[in-house]
Structure formats: C-alpha cells, structure tokens
Amino acid sequence: MKEIERLKDISKGRDDLEQLLNNTLDIIKACEDLESVTKARISILGKKGTVAGIFKKIPEFPYKDRPLLGEFGNLLKKVAEQELDSKEKQIRAAIREKKLAGLAIDVTLPGRGKPLGRRHILNMTIREIVSIFLSLGYRVIHGPEVELDYYNFEALNTPTYHPARSLQDTFYFKRDDPVKDSRDDVLLRTHTSPVQVRVMESTKPPLYVISPGKAYRRDEIDATHSAVFHQVEGFAVDRGITMGDLKGTLEVFAKKLFGEEKSVRFRPHFFPFTEPSAEVDVSCFACDTAGCSLCKGVGWLEIMGCGMIDPNVFSYVGYDPEEYQGFAFGMGVERIAMMKHGIDDMRLFYENDVRFLRQFHV
C-alpha cells in the first residue's frame, strides 16, 4: 500500500510519529472480534482519537513542519480506515465459517418422509357409490344437516303422529322463540331424504340426483349404531318412470359395487315417502344364498331401501303426479363399507386408529 510507504517515509527519524504509526497498526492487528474492532475504531478515528490528536497538535509545531504533519494525519486516517474495514471483514467471514461448520449437513443422508393423509374408508366408499351414479348420468347435490321438521318429516309424508318424530329418536334444537307450528321445529336431519324435497321444490324435472351426507339419530352407540352416520340418497323424477326403471338402476348399481356375479332381490317394505316401497338385498358374499353365519342363515344381505316416490310428496313440491313419476333410494354408507370389507364393528370407523384405517390403502 503506497500510503503506508509514505507514512513510513514521513516518520523516518521522528520517533514520536513512528511510534504513533506502529501503535496504530498494532492496535488494529490485535483485534480478534467485532467488539475490539469497534473499540479500535473509536480510539483511532473518534473525536478524541489518535488522528484527531495529531490535527489538534499541529499548531504547536514549527510552521514548516505543519504541512507534513497534516499529510501524516490524513494518511494515517485513510490507512486506519482501510485496515479496520478489512479486519472487520475477516472477522465476519470467520464467524460465518464457524456457523456453517456447526450446521454441517450431510447431503448423502436419505430424506425423512412426511406421512401423507389418506382418504378415510367411509369417504372412499361414498366416492365409489357416487361415481357409479355419476356414470349413469346423475348429479351430486348436497343439503343442510340442520333441517326444519317440515323437510325432514312433514313434506316426506311423515305425519305428526309418526314414531320417528319422537324425541327419543331425533335431535331437536331448543328454540328461544317456541314455534306454534311443529313444522318449523329445527332438528339434525335423521336421513338424507329431505334433500329430495329441497331439490324438487326449486327445480323442474327431469331430475337424476345423488346426495351423500351425514345423518343423526339419538341411538346408543354400539357395533351397528352410531349417533352420526352417513347416507347416500338418490332419486329420479321424469315422465314415464316405472318400478322397472328403479329395479334396473339399482341392479346395475349393486352389481357394479359388489360384483357382477351377485344376485339382487327386492322385498316389499314400508316407507312413508314411497309407495310401493322395497328393501334391496344382495346375495350373501360368504354363502351365495345358501345361508351362513354372516347372513344369519338368510342367504341375503340388505343393502338399501327404495320405492316409487309417493304422489303425496309430489303434492308438497307442486309436481303433477299424473305428469311425473319418480323413484328414490337411500343406503347407509357404514353398512355398505362393513359388508364390502368384512368389518364387524361400526365404531372402528370413528376411532381413527391408523392401524385399522391403513388396511384399506394399497
């Protein structure tokens, strides 16, 4: 550095300046951390520092020496600044180096996998059921889980004296403003069927709708009952729909879901909102109608309820039963998943034990 050479030149033969120069350079050299660099900066370049001291003393010297002292002061200032800056850079680099060494990463180590969430078996079952109906031209419509009595019972042709309306079976909400008309009672829907009424009320036929969702009943929880469960509701309304369409549709569905080799049968049954009504059975997976312990000797397993939509239901939504006919069906998702996968306790679905849930993923 030519400045240093010049400084040495000037201080040659002048002990006081030589000492000043050497002291300054030694102080900087001795710095080991950022704190000592700051201290050195203050002691050399500060208001009361070495360089300021030189300028202060200039008037005390003979006139002819003053320019040289001025030059010495300016050069010392410049050199000290450069040296301090480079010292600080060195120290910062060393600190960074040390930090990085502490964070040593072995890039050859295998990565740690993050466990991914998977679909729950009930959701998988719902998707499977829904996709079959989508392939038949149905569309998915969801309805509210908090319902009015009107949609859950009344408009589904379930009269006020029907036992399903009992407080023992249904979760009712307490209202601050008690209603005079029981149709305005608020409840948790006991089935997905109210979606039928809501859709028909707002849409003109033709309708081919599938509606999966949760339903609620005041059941004691055991191997085959739960207060919350899943249903898939489906219905079709069009001109000229017959029981034959219902049977054909559900037979196609059951065979797609459970296997082409299965047989399907319809047994007469009763539901308030369909007439005639039936329950649908599929041939037992274990014995193929011969009768065994799985089917309790019956040879068949019940998979859902169905029927032709009662003309009374049409009257609630303003459809002319002479013009339109329709069928409806509903199935329990848990029941279907249990049959398909040989699960004997419904509670397993809700306990979220991953050892159970994992079995359904391949």
Whichever of 132 and 286 has its CB closer to Zn ion, that residue is 286
Q: Which of 58, 252, 294, 343 touches Zn ion by CB under 5 A?
A: 294
Report whether 324 contacts 237 (CB < 8 A): yes
Pairwise CA distance, residues 212 & 165, whole Å: 22
Task: Tell me, by CB under 5 A, how many residues bind Zn ion.
Answer: 6
CA distance 64 to 246: 120
The residue (of 118 and 341) whose beta carbon lies closer to Zn ion is 341
Q: In the complex, which residue's CB is closest to Zn ion?
A: 284
Does 263 interact with Zn ion (rule: CB under 5 A)? no
Interface positions, 178-207, toward Zn ion (CB under 5 A) = none
The span from the CA of 85 to the CA of 44, in Å, is 13
Quick one: 287 or 317, whose CB is closer to Zn ion? 287
Return the number of the residue (147 or 281) whose C-beta is nearest Zn ion: 281
Residue 315 tokens read as 């009257």
Which of the stretches 103-111, 131-139, 251-259, 291-299 binds Zn ion when contact is defined by CB under 5 A?
A: 291-299
Is there a contact between 129 and 336 (Cβ–Cβ < 8 Å)? Answer: yes
Binding of residue 286 to Zn ion (CB under 5 A): yes
Which of 124, 292, 343, 357 is the binder for Zn ion (CB under 5 A)?
A: 292
Q: Does 287 participate in binding Zn ion (rule CB under 5 A)?
A: yes
Asked if 141 is part of the footprint of Zn ion (rule: CB under 5 A), the reply reads no
Query: 284 or 306, CB closer to Zn ion?
Result: 284
The distance of closest approach from Cβ of residue 303 to Zn ion in the complex, given in angstroms and rounded to an integer, is: 14
Q: Minimum Å distance from CB 258 to Zn ion?
A: 13
Which residues make Cβ contacts (< 8 Å) with residue 31, sequence separation at least 6? 37, 40, 84, 87, 91
Instruction: Quote the least distance from Cβ 265 to Zn ion, whole Å.
Output: 14
In the complex, the smallest distance separating the C-beta of residue 263 from Zn ion, rounded to whole angstroms, is 12
DSSP 172: B
Q: Which stretch binds Zn ion (CB under 5 A): 183-191, 213-221, 252-260, 288-296?
A: 288-296
Closest among 354, 333, 338 to 117, alpha carbons compared:
354
Q: How far is the C-alpha of 10 from the C-alpha of 8, rounded, in Å? A: 5
**342-345 — which CB contacts under 8 Å span 24+ positions?**
342/285, 344/223, 345/223
Tell me the two tokens of residue 279.
Answer: 């329950």
Question: Which residue in the set 241, 284, 313, 331 belongs to the binding site for Zn ion (CB under 5 A)?
Answer: 284
The minimum distance between CB 301 and Zn ion, in angstroms, equals 8
Of 359, 358, 352, 360, the closest CA to residue 115 belongs to: 358
User: Cβ closer to Zn ion: 130 or 280?
Assistant: 280
Other C-beta atoms within 10 Å of 222: how many? Answer: 10
What are the residues facing 284 on neighbouring strands?
Answer: none
**Is the CB of 37 or the CB of 284 nearer to Zn ion?**
284
Q: CB under 5 A: which stretch of 58-66, 125-133, 197-205, 278-286 binds Zn ion?
A: 278-286
Q: According to CB under 5 A, which one of 7, 76, 295, 308 is a site residue for Zn ion?
A: 295
Nearer to Zn ion, 287 or 348 (CB): 287
Q: Is 114 exposed, middle or buried (0-12, 13-18, 19+ CB in 10 A)?
A: exposed
What angle, 0 to 180 degrees and rounded to 10, lies between the N-to-C axes of helices 333-341 and 243-258?
40
Based on the shown chain and the rule CB under 5 A, indicate whether residue 289 belongs to the binding site for Zn ion. Answer: no
Task: Name the residue nearer to Zn ion (CB basis): 154 or 281.
Answer: 281
Footprint of Zn ion (CB under 5 A): 284, 286-287, 292, 294-295
